Amino acid sequence: MKVYTRTGDDGTTGLFAGGRVSKAHPRVESYGTVDELNSVIGLARSATDDPALDGILADLQNELFRLGADLATPLTDKPDKPHVLRLPTGASTRLEGIIDRCEEDLPPLTNFILPGGCLAAAHLHHARCVCRRAERLTVAFAATDVRLNAEIITYLNRLSDLLFVLGRWTNHRAGAPEVIWKP
């Protein structure tokens, strides 16, 4: 299969359920930013040798592919075809469980901290920022009166919390001190 199809040379892209939209469409901005987030998480994975962190991040990358597919497939009044991937209800609850487990290892947060630390943690803090942007774009897209899977916005919100905690957890496990913000 060729990588290039030339179908997007006119500035449009195809959606999973059919039809074409501008590459600047808010839907494409949303799932494109989720794709960027997935890449930044891949950077964090490449910067760690911690199998526990790598496993968590691998699961997140797979979920983000599903979330991107969900964003790229408009909801309709018709039931989804079996091949349509949707982020399952309760996916954000799974993230809460990971947050709770990681926080058990961490000292309580009493100050704002600056992003950074070891390389993997720095990438996780970067991923958190990209996740927040994906969330903002998706909220704006949803406000255009487009129906979306309700789990998506909750998931992105919870994921940014998880990425913050994972950044702290990674630094803690690596023995890298947190840098306190001094106003």
At 94-129, the pLDDT tens digits run 999 999 999 999 999 999 999 999 999 999 999 999
Q: Where are the domains of the chain?
A: 20-76+86-176
pLDDT recorded at residue 77: 56
**Mean pLDDT, rounded, for 13-27:** 83
Three-state secondary-structure class, residue 116: coil
pTM (2 d.p.): 0.92
Output the six-digit token pair for 86. 């949707």
Between 81 and 47, where is the model more confident? 47
Q: Tell me the one-letter amino acid at 145.
A: D
Between 80 and 102, where is the model more confident? 102
pLDDT recorded at residue 81: 61
Percent of the chain surpassing pLDDT 70: 96
Question: What would the pLDDT profile of 31-54 be if each residue is shown by its tens digit?
Answer: 999 999 999 999 999 999 999 999
Task: For residue 61, give every residue at least 6 positions away whose Cβ sits within 8 Å of its Cβ, in sequence order, or none.
Answer: 38, 41, 42, 45
Pick the closest to residue 66 from 99, 91, 96, 94 (CA basis).
91
Q: CB pairs under 8 A, 24+ apart, for 17-20?
A: 17/73, 17/74, 17/76, 17/84, 19/74
Structural element, H or E, at residue 159: helix 151-174
pLDDT band at 82 (very low <50, low <70, confident <90, very high): low
pLDDT recorded at residue 74: 83
Whole-number average pLDDT of the chain = 92
**Taking CA 86 as the corner, what is the angle to CA 81 and CA 90, rounded to the nearest 5 degrees?**
135
List % helix, strand, coil for the chain (3-state, nearest 5). 55, 5, 40
Between 85 and 106, where is the model more confident? 106
pLDDT recorded at residue 16: 74
Percent of the chain surpassing pLDDT 90: 75
Which CATH superfamily includes the segment(s) 20-76+86-176? Cobalamin adenosyltransferase-like (1.20.1200.10)
